[in-house]
Amino acid sequence: MSFRLAVLLVALAGLAREAAAFVVPTDAAGNRRRWWLEPLDPRVPTNAVNRATRAVRFQLSAAGWSATNTAAELNAVRAAFGQWQAVPSIRLRFEEGAPVPGMTDVNPQDGTNAVFWAKNSVFINGGLDDISGLPALTLVRRFDDTLAIAEADITFNGVEFSWFTDLADPTRSRYLLEAIALHEIGHFLGLNHATVGGATMLFSGDPGAGNAQLGLSPDEAAAAQSLYGAAAAAGQFARLRGTVRLGGAAVLGAVVTLEDGAGTVLAGTASGADGSYDLPALPAADHLVRVTPLDPRFASVTLLRGQDLSSTFTSANTAFLPVTNAPVALAAGANVTRDFTLTSGTPLRIVRLLTPSTGLGPTYPTTFKPVRLPADGQPRWIGVFMTNPPAADVRLHVTGPGVSLSAQTNILNAVGSLHLVAARATAATGAPAGLRSLLLTQEGQTAWANGYLEIPPTAPDDNFDGLDDRFQRSYWSPWTTNASAPAADPDGDGFINSREFAGASNPTNRLSATFRILSVSVTTQGARVAAETAAGKPFQLQRRDTVPGAAWEDAGPEIVVPADEHEFLDPAVTNRIMFYRVRLTP
Amino acid sequence: MNRRSVVSRCLAGLVLATALHAAPVRVFTPGELATRAELVVVGRVVELRAERDAAGRPRTLTRLAVAEAWKGALAGDVLTVAQGGGVLGQEAVESAGEVRLAVGDRVVAFLRRGGAGDWIWVARDQGCFAVTEAAGQPLAGNGHWGAPRAPQAGVSPPHQRPLGLGELRRRVEEAAP
């Protein structure tokens, strides 16, 4: 049959395989589609990559999508770029050019990386492409010899889709711009769709806020570290690679998943046409690795098919039994080879997930997207759907500690002819956060939904800086700006942001910080007041009488303090203890 | 249609509706594609050509020898469909949802006039159905609709059931007489 209809990202001529970790086009020489920054590919347009800084430049359409929320829309895209740039141990930097007023289209040949909202027409790219039905589209121009990216343009469909920016908005009918931008920037950086359920680069996700794809997963972090890693950090990671074979033949599209000791998926990929797979930029530790099949191309109900990754995997071999959880020890800097030989057969399959809820039935909402189970000690029903009737020994499991399952219930024909295996799941407070996997065992077989159950962190940190994102989002837009960094002190009050967070003060208001009084002692020479301060900053000690309603008054002169603690003297108070406070002077 | 069949269809529809509601990509039914299309034809690829448009954009032109027109009128028996991107010289422009064809492929093409007046695919790869043969019967399908052989056990959402060429034509003509 000569027909080859691409469903997703195409594998164009010259791509011999597509098997690097995460999923990225790779050629026979091992080149992967990415921006070539060190050394810089000289063919890249000067407006696409800054020659001096090697920063990848982008320019936003100044008009955004809406007339009333434009600034937040532009900042949502900036925050998405900021999250990719914040992945630890990478040298990737973005640089924004001035927003472009009057942008009316994209052109992957104009030398500019544009971010554009189509608002008047679904025809883009010179009228050559109809983006009807697509929330967003990224066009990537690359060279044939090294797969180096020359230019990329992102278009959001503002004609057919509504966009919002506020994570507190519970709507599910509009699209969260930051989440979709995060995904599209993954394409902008060279990636195809992922094999890991909770990955941002999964082919599909919820449109609204609170979806598992908001925030980069370890799989995307590994992608950035592998494609754009800082040379100095290379030795801290390990690499696992090998081949997957069945009956001596290379297997296309076998999913290789690496999981840590907490049952959290770290990375995943799919083997290429030559059976090879490559998982670079892995954290050094003892891990587990398994090989599982994708869903058949033409199965009636599926969780993840080859064409959901890219057209390269449309003909993936899916008729083999999973190889489950082989231990693998990965030391820093190690390059470990692990080959797999598969056994042919018809695997047990998880074809849908049950949307978690506090009650079970009478209807059973299905999803093919990852689900969330908060670590709050509250029970919720989770479950998986299968096409085979559940056997007497069928069991549902969740990888890793801290999640308990009880009251497993099997419901035949719960949705059409899909059978449900559900259980009441409780993630204990403190259960390790991350992308867990659901697995089903039955009559000696196992089916996996790799990374499809997210235990969300109690404090989100999608920009990897150790500071609670909710704090940063409440004060900055974009919340990934340099001013929001934990060690930054944008209001100049001597309290860095992490300290402002701990003290629940406003990091953008220098008068909001609370400097604690440490001790007060009164003698005939006056009152000595020890207080927290900030070295090199001017402070004023103030007193107030203990009589209710008394006003604050200055006690002594303003002092530029030499250290983060200082003892002030109030010579006017010699016989009793007053109320005191210290103020950073404006 | 008996009651069991009705229930099955409803439940199957529920699965599809769930998927479509939450999926970022909006999958159009054949009827919706037909409504959006100005021209729906069955044809065979006779030539592929990569070139640049006036603004320098790479584009891929697909010449189709048209055997049937299900919607719209065609002056001749050959038409050209344009699409952004492709392989040109030592560069490629790639994106999700591109239509990729080879000379000789037989397709059902849902087409509309693009911004520059060329025929373009409706909704990119959603607007292109491969025509294949199974047990002597012509089937139509793409990554969103139709399966070229009988589905496996379980629910068969309408979009993943085998879609006969005649059935696709009926849906097109119903939606866009």
C-alpha torsion angle, residues A443, A444, A448, A454 (rounded to 10): 80
Inform me whether the C-beta atom of residue B105 falls under 8 Å from chain A C-beta atoms.
yes
Given this model, what pLDDT does residue A4 score?
A: 39
What residues of A are in contact with residue B4 (Cβ under 8 Å)? none
Can you tell me the mean pLDDT for B65-77?
Answer: 93
Distance, in Å, from the CA atom of A182 to the CA atom of A80, rounded to the nearest integer, reads: 5
By the 8 A CB rule, do B64 and B99 touch?
no
Distance, in Å, from the CA atom of A174 to the CA atom of A166, rounded to the nearest integer, reads: 11
Residues forming a β-bridge with B43: B66, B107
Nearest to B15 among A3, A123, A301 (CB): A301
What residues of A are in contact with residue B26 (Cβ under 8 Å)? 132-134, 160
By the 8 A CB rule, do A340 and A243 touch?
yes
Closest Cα in chain A, distance from residue B117 (Å): 8
DSSP H helices in A400-476? 469-475
Q: How confident is the model at residue B13 (pLDDT cuts 50, 70, 90)?
A: very low
Inform me whether the C-beta atom of residue B58 falls under 8 Å from chain A C-beta atoms.
yes
Given this model, what pLDDT does residue A281 score?
A: 93
Percent of chain A's residues with pLDDT above 90: 79
Inform me whether the C-beta atom of residue B5 falls under 8 Å from chain A C-beta atoms.
no
By the 8 A CB rule, do A253 and A316 touch?
yes
By the 8 A CB rule, do A72 and A165 touch?
yes
Given this model, what pLDDT does residue B11 score?
A: 34
Question: Are the beta carbons of B15 and A137 separated by less than 8 Å?
Answer: no
- Give the count of beta carbons closer than 10 Å to the beta carbon of residue A511: 12
Closest Cα in chain B, distance from residue A326 (Å): 31
Helix (H) or strand (E) holding B92: strand B91-94
Question: Are the beta carbons of A415 and B96 separated by less than 8 Å?
Answer: no
Q: How close are the terminal C-alpha atoms of chain A, in Å?
A: 76
ipTM score:
0.84
Given this model, what pLDDT does residue A218 score?
A: 95
Closest Cα in chain B, distance from residue A369 (Å): 9
What residues of B are in contact with residue A144 (Cβ under 8 Å)? 87, 90-92
List of chain A residues with pLDDT < 70: 1-21, 172, 208-212
What residues of A are in contact with residue B107 (Cβ under 8 Å)? 3
Structure tokens that stand for A478 in this block:
């974009």
Question: Are the beta carbons of A388 and B153 separated by less than 8 Å?
Answer: yes
Question: Are the beta carbons of A369 and B22 separated by less than 8 Å?
Answer: yes
Residue of chain A nearest B44, judged by CA positions: A3
In this prediction the pTM is 0.88
SS3 content of chain B, % helix, strand, coil (to 5): 25, 40, 35
Residue A406, phi then psi, degrees to nearest 5: -150, 170
| Local structure of A435: helix, strand or coil | strand
Question: Are the beta carbons of A145 and B90 separated by less than 8 Å?
Answer: yes
Distance, in Å, from the CA atom of B48 to the CA atom of B73, rounded to the nearest integer, reads: 23
Structure tokens that stand for A88 in this block:
């630890």
Residues forming a β-bridge with B128: B109
What residues of B are in contact with residue A137 (Cβ under 8 Å)? 95-97
Question: Are the beta carbons of B24 and A205 separated by less than 8 Å?
Answer: yes
Distance, in Å, from the CA atom of B56 to the CA atom of A62, rounded to the nearest integer, reads: 24
Q: How confident is the model at residue B18 (pLDDT cuts 50, 70, 90)?
A: very low
Q: Is the pLDDT at B156 greater than 60, yes or no?
A: no
What residues of A are in contact with residue B17 (Cβ under 8 Å)? none
What residues of A are in contact with residue B15 (Cβ under 8 Å)? 301, 352, 366, 415-416, 418
Distance, in Å, from the CA atom of B85 to the CA atom of A108, rounded to the nearest integer, reads: 9
Question: Minimal CA–CA distance to A301: which of B155, B127, B56, B147?
Answer: B155
Question: Minimal CA–CA distance to B98: which of B82, B118, B83?
Answer: B83
Q: What is the pLDDT of residues A171-223, one digit of tens each?
A: 767 889 999 999 999 999 999 999 999 999 998 877 766 666 789 999 999 99
Inform me whether the C-beta atom of residue B83 falls under 8 Å from chain A C-beta atoms.
yes
Given this model, what pLDDT does residue A499 score?
A: 87
Note if the bond before A39 is cis, omega within 30 degrees.
Answer: yes
Residue of chain B nearest A145, judged by CA positions: B90
